[in-house]
Structure 1
C-alpha cells in the first residue's frame, strides 16, 4: 500500500473517531422547577435526571440553555447531534425528532382560582361540565401545549377562553387579580411558584375527578442521532424507572 494511501486512510479513521467522540448538545429551556437558573447555576430535578441518564448511557453530552423557539427552530432546520429534554410527545414533533422512552410522568393538571370564584367552579360536578359554562373565563398561555387531550377540550370549550403571551407565573397573577376566573396549572410549576410569590397566596387549587391524566415527558433527539445512542439512552431510562427514579 502506497504511503499516500496509508496517510489518507489514517486521516479518514482519525476524522471518524473524532466525529464519533463529538458530544451531543442537549438543550433545555428555562422552566422551573424542571430546569432553570438559580444563583448562576443550572438547577432542576429533571435536568439533574437527564444528566444522570446521559452519563449512565455513556453518551458524551454538553447541556445548554436555549429559548423554546430556538430549540424548535434548530430541530426544523435539521441541526445534527442535537437533543432536548422534558417535552410532551405530539404528532407534529414526531416529524422533526426521534423520541426516547418517557423519563418523567407529570401528575394531572390542577385548577387554580381565587377563593371568591371557587363556589361557581364547585357548582359543576365535573371538569366537562365546567368547560360547558359560557359565564366562566379560562386563562390559557398561548402557544403552549397542555397535552393533546386538554388542548382539544380547551378548543371545544364554551368558556370565555383568554389567551395570553405570559409565562405561567404571569397568568397566575392574572387569576389572583380577578382578570380571569381560573387556569390550568402544571402541579410542579404551581408548587414551586406558590412558595416564591406572596402575591399568589389568594389562589386555591381544585381537582376534578375527570381531569385528563398527566403526560409523559421525553428526551428528543435529531434524526441523525444513531439507533445505538438512542438504545443506550432508553436502557438507562428503563434502569432508572426500575429503581423507582423515573417519576
Structure 2
C-alpha cells in the first residue's frame, strides 16, 4: 500500500472518530411527532413551533445537539433517570417535574393556542360553567395521557375536582377516536388540533366545549436531566430569540 493510500485511510479514521465524538458529546433533544409543535416537513427536516426557537438558540450558543424521536412517556422516564445529558423539548412545567428536572426559560409562549375540551356529542354541560364546575360534574371521565400536564391552572383544577381519570399511552389522534367511542367524555387539546380531529373523525361524533375562564395556552420549556449543566442552560437561555 503506497504512502498516499495510508494517509487517506488515516484521514478517514480520524474523521470517523471525530463524528463519533461529536455524537457522544452532543446534547440529546427528545421530541415526538405532533404537528404543529414538532414534525418533519416535506424534505424530512425536523421543524415546528418548539423546534425552530430551540435550533436558533442552540446554533447561536454554539451548543452541539442531536434530535431523537422519542414517545412522550419515554421522554419523561429518560429525563428522570438522569443517565445522560438530555432535554425533552416543548414540555409544560409543573411541581412534580421540577422535583427531578431542570427547566430552561420559556421556548414558546403558546398564547394563541389555548386548550379546549374535545368531547363526544352526549357530553353537554351548561355553557355558563367554569372549568372547575365542569370537571366536578358527577359521573364524567377525562381521558388523559399518563404523566401528561396541561399547565398549572388545568392540572390544579383536575386535582381539585377529583374527576375520574382514564389513563392511556395513546397518541392524540387515537385519544380523539377513543372519545368518539365513548371510552371517556373528553380530552384537553389545543383548539387547532381539536378542529383537525373533528374534521378527520366527524362533526357528528365530536365537538368543542369551552368552559368559562379557560387559561391561555401555557408556556413550553426544555425539560432537562440533572446531567445538563447550569452553564449550558444559561448559554441556551441567553441565546433564545426575544
TM-score w.r.t. the length of structure 2 is: 0.74
Structure 1's unaligned 5+ residue stretches are 1-17, 242-247
- 3-state SS of 2:158 partner: helix
Residue in structure 2 matched with residue 244 of structure 1 by the alignment: none
The Cα of 1:236 is off from its aligned counterpart by 1.8
Q: Give the deviation of 1:231 after TM superposition.
A: 1.9
- Aligned match for 2:31, one of 14, 28, 31: 28
Q: Note the residue ranges of structure 2 that are not aligned, 5 or more in a row.
A: 1-20
SS at match of 2:208: strand
Match of 1:219 among 215, 218, 222: 222
Number of residues of Structure 1 aligned to a counterpart in Structure 2: 217
**1:102 lines up with 2:106 in the alignment:** yes
**Corresponding residue of 2:203:** 201
Q: Residue 150 of structure 2 aligns with which residue?
A: 146
| Change over 3 Å in CA distance of 1:67–1:112 after alignment to 2 | closer
- Aligned partner of 2:59 in structure 1 is 55
What displacement does 1:154 show?
1.9
What are the residue-to-residue correspondences of 1:25-104 with 2, within 5 Å? 25-37=28-40, 41=44, 42-104=46-108
Deviation of 1:155 after TM superposition, in Å, equals 3.1
Question: Scaled by the length of structure 1, what TM-score is found?
Answer: 0.72
Decide whether the 8 Å contact of 2:142 with 2:165 is kept in 1: yes
Deviation at 1:91, TM superposition (A): 2.7
Aligned match of 2:194? 190
Note the aligned Cα RMSD (angstroms).
3.0
Q: Is the 8 A contact 2:91 2:223 kept in 1?
A: yes
Change (3 A) 1:27 1:183: closer
